[in-house]
Structures are given as structure tokens and as C-alpha cells.
Structure 1
Amino acid sequence: MTALPTLREQLDAHGLAAKKSFGQHFLLDLNVTRKIVRLAGPFEGRAVIEVGPGPGGLTRALLESDAGRVVLVEKDPRFVPLLAELDDGSGRLTIVEGDALNVREDRLVEGPAHLVSNLPYNVGTALLIKWLTGPWLPHALTLMFQKEVAERIVAAPGDDAYGRLAVISQAVCEARLVMHLPAAAFTPPPKVASAVVHLIPRADRPERTLLKALERVTAAAFGQRRKMLRSSLKQLGGADLCESAGISPEDRAEVIDLDGFLRLARASIGAEAPTKPAEVGAALTRRKRS
């Protein structure tokens, strides 16, 4: 790695600049990228997936680490030749040109893997939800977001930032904010500060059916967060649903903790239970008589 040109020299040599449409802001300080990789590790030989590597500042730090394979997913084809210059022929580096929202991660790596990325601002939340709720869940995630999004991920009940993203993230993972970065750390500087969140999947994370129910409940509750739950959850059962879950129908979403939302999600699954055959027969009989 020491023989490589600097990141700025590589960008200049390839005539590359950030594209606003891709939400690109480059992190060129290798001291910073090495710190992020230390916070993400140790990797102990496991594979690491990096989304949106751009010129490869974080990639260089990953290749210096104890990671096994380093798999890059880059949507912007302009950076593929530049990233290929980081390949030392050892077989550790794989470059995939494509949109991370459509990529099947289980086809990129085998066994436990880490996700370490400076995510494009315009798709960061969508990618996180994909990884948290999809069929493939990494061994750990260390991800950079704009500061506002990072704070939403780790927020607690009663915080201004507390919402659906916090509940879903914390239902699946233990989440910690581990690093702040000012806008000046990036090229070009964004209009907002950034932060790194480290997420470790919980052993007791919800199974798929409960997680889908949790998504529905939180979407309804926080979609009308200033209303009482009896109103915001009306389509899912309203006051009856709240009482089944041991939640006051007069409460608002912003004060309900993770356990409360999980109880609401379980109760909503029960409320959607299929009607018993005997009840179906009785209903049909009533229709015929009428």
C-alpha cells in the first residue's frame, strides 16, 4: 500500500470528481479511515463488504487490516479502474459494479461477514433497512451516515430523534454511535456533519413474521406521531390492540419503548389470525338466511 499514489493523485490522474446525483462525498484522510476500520474490527479473517467505496480511502484501510476477502460494491463505473489499482493479486479484493439496493449479499460472500461503509447519503437509510429486515444479516455493521440519521438510529424513547428507524434498528441490533466527523473531513464538504454507527445483531432479534408486524405497527404509529395510539393504530385495531398489548391507548408513539412496540407487533399478529372454520361456516349460514 505504501507504493500507491495518494488518493488525491489518483483522482486527478483519472480526472474524477464527486457526483452530486450519487450522493458522493469522499473521505481521503487515511488516518480517519484507519480509525473507522479499527472501530469496526477485529475481523479475524472474515469477509468485509464495502458499499460505495468511491476512490478507495476506506478500502485501503480494510486491505491493511485482518479482513479476509474485501468485496466492493460500486454503482459508479468511473471508479472501477481506479479501485482495480488496489488489487495486489492476492485474491483478497473483489469489485462488483452494481447498485447495492439490488445486490444479493449472500451471493458475494460465504459465512459470517462484516459491512463497513461510508454510505451515500441519498440511500443510506434504505440500505440499512434492507440489511436489517432482509434474509441476509451481516456479522456486524459499521456504517457512516449523516449525523441526523445516525442519531435517529440510536435514539431512545422521548428523544426528538426517536422514531421508526430507532425501533427497527434496535429490535435487530445493539446500536452505538462511535464516531463523529465534521463536514470539513470530506471532499467535497457536505452541508451536514456525519457520524459512524456500529451495530451488532442481537441473539434475540425478532423472527421474520414478528419483524414484518413491527414494521407495520411502527409505520402506522410514527406516521401520525402526534396522535394518540388509539387513533394512529386505528387500522390495526386501535384501542383494542393497545389494550391487548398492555399499552395505554392514550399514549403517543414517541414514549413507547422497544418492548412496548414488540408487544404491539405480537398483538397485531394475533388480531390478524385466520377465522376458525366453525366461525366461517356460521357466517356463511347467516348470509344464506338473510
Structure 2
Amino acid sequence: MSQQVKPKKALGQHFLTDLDIARRIAATLDDYKGLPVMEVGPGMGVLTQFLMAEGHDISVAEIDGESVDYLRSHFPELEGRIIDCDFLKLDLAQTYPDGQPFCVIGNYPYNISSQIFFHVLDYRNQVKCCSGMLQREVAERLAAPAGTKTRGILSVMLQAWYDVEYLFTVQPGVFNPPPKVQSGVIRMRRNDVTDLGCDERLFKTVVKTAFGQRRKTLRNSLRGLLPAGTGADELPMGQMRPEQLTVGQFVELTNFISSLRAPKQ
């Protein structure tokens, strides 16, 4: 594919030029061909072409006007399916109304990849699979199991609702311009969880507060969430650090804190 769109640093654009890798990324959705697909930041359509070749019902969200013009002229079959806007501001429940399930894929801009996954999380009851490429360090964090140093807020928040796999690493040389870091491809499949079994808003607060001071033990980092007069020493798993906890242990911790905060009868 000839280079006709200039990569824009402000948009975090690094255009994939290796067709075999693009084909492999498209193949991450092979098990979901019955569902519509939203591609984020298609650029010049290197991934789009393989998704269409596999028969996916695809729409694309692209913020770069030059890329939109390129797609319209080179992919006439996308007529009416190019959404010229910022994916982070897109109401996906309107794009896929009535709770329609769909998938998300992309070569995600590195500078906003975490925000993209938080946005996907807001539509977790509809997004059955989310896959694609992002900075390797972030990709590894999303898939990091309990007990690993790379585990973070997004690891726990996503793994509460998705089974996350790190699939393969991509070297910088297959992009224009080459990024200064390696890339990683992940796939997230929606799990069977419909209810965490705790106050979800408090769960999010507990996770964010714990990782906000990740070098501290939970006894110290979560002290501020406890009611006045409550000793942090009675906190279960209080001697542990946040990266050591599974999703289930964070749920247990949330329920314990919730019970302390509940009005006494």
C-alpha cells in the first residue's frame, strides 16, 4: 500500500507496513465473525482490508481527516461506515443500539491506549471481544496476572470482566515511522461475570487507591477509605501490596470495607 497519509506525531500515528502482521491481528477475531466490528484508528486501512476480506461487518472510527479522505477514496465499500470522530467520545450504545453485541479492534495510538480500554470497559456488556496492538509495556500490563510487578489498575479492572491474553510481540521496524518501543498484540474475551458481587463503584475506588500508592501495603494505602476510629490493622490482606491480589481478593477487600462503612443498625 503506497504511503499517502503523513503520520502525525500529535495523534500518535505509527502506520503498520507489514501485511503478514496485519493479517495475524485481523485473525484474532476469527471466532467472532457473526458480530459487527468497530476498528479504532484505521489509518490507511492496512488492517481494515483483511477484516473485510474475512467477511466481518466492519465500521471504522478515525479522527484524522487525511486518513478519512484516504479511506473514502480507496475503500468505497466503507461508504456510510466511516465515523469521522474521536473514538473516546463515541457513544457506542448509539452506534450499536438495543444492546447489540460487537467487537473492537485496532492498531491503537500509544498515547491514548489506556483511555481506549477504559472506554471499552464502559460498554463491557456489549463488547464481546477486544483485540489489537499497543505499546508492549502496556499490553503486558493488561494481561499481567496477580503477583507480577507489571500489574496495575487496568489489569484488575479489565480482568474482572475479560480473559486477557498477550499474543505476540511486534518489532519497531514494521512501522512508518518506527516507534521507539516494541509493540504487543493482545486479545480480551468477555468472561461469564455479570455481577462482581460487591459495590462496583467502591471496587474501582479501592483498586485505584491501592495502586495509587503501590509501594505501600494495603493497610497503609487504604487507611483513608476506612471510617474514623476503624483500625487498619484488621484489614484482610492488609500486609500485601496491590499487585499481589487477584480480582476475587479485591472483591473480598471491597466487601469488607463496605461492611465497615455501612450504617450500624
- Which of structures 1 and 2 has the bigger CA Rg? 1
The 1-side partners of 2:95 and 2:122 are apart by: 18
Distance 1:65 1:210, change over 3 A: farther
Deviations 1:35-76 (A, max 9, x none): 1111222333321000111111111111111312x1110011
Instruction: Name the CA shift for 1:148/1:23 in 2 (closer, same or farther; >3 Å).
Output: same
TM-score of the two chains, using structure 2 as the length reference? 0.90
Q: 2:65 aligns with which of 71, 77, 81?
A: 77
Change (3 A) 1:201 1:83: same
* CA distance in 1 between partners of 2:233 and 2:121 (Å): 26
Which runs of structure 2 are paired with 1:1-290 in the superposition (5 Å)?
6=1, 8=2, 11-12=3-4, 16-68=5-57, 70-89=58-77, 94-110=81-97, 111-134=100-123, 137-206=126-195, 210-237=199-226, 243=234, 247-273=236-262, 275=263
Contact 1:106-1:136 at 8 Å conserved across structures: no
Distance 1:135 1:167, change over 3 A: closer
Q: Which amino acid aligns with 1:96?
A: I
Conserved in 2, the CA contact under 8 Å of 1:74 and 1:95?
yes
Counterpart code for 1:250? Q
Letter in 2 for 1:267: F
CA 241–252 in structure 1, closer or farther in 2 if over 3 Å, else same? same
Tell me, what secondary structure is at the counterpart of 2:87?
coil
Gapped regions of structure 1 (runs ≥ 5): 1-5, 280-290
Post-superposition offset of 1:203: 0.9
Letter of the aligned partner of 1:164 in structure 2?
A: I
C-alpha distance in structure 2 between counterparts of 1:53 and 1:216, whole Å: 34
Call closer, same or farther: CA 1:187–1:208 in 2, change over 3 Å: farther
Q: 1:85 to 1:255 in 2, by over 3 A?
A: same
Q: How many residues align?
A: 261
Query: Is contact 1:51-1:118 (8 Å) kept?
Result: yes
Contact 1:60 1:86 in 2 (8 A): no
For residues 205 and 241 of structure 1, the distance between their equivalents in structure 2, rounded to whole angstroms, comes to 31
Report the AA paired with residue 178 of structure 2: P
Question: Which stretch of the first structure deviates more once superposed, 23-32 or 94-103?
Answer: 23-32
**Counterpart-to-counterpart distance in 2, 1:90 and 1:77:** 15
CA-based RMSD: 2.3
Separation in structure 2 between the aligned mates of residue 47 and residue 139 of structure 1, nearest angstrom:
10
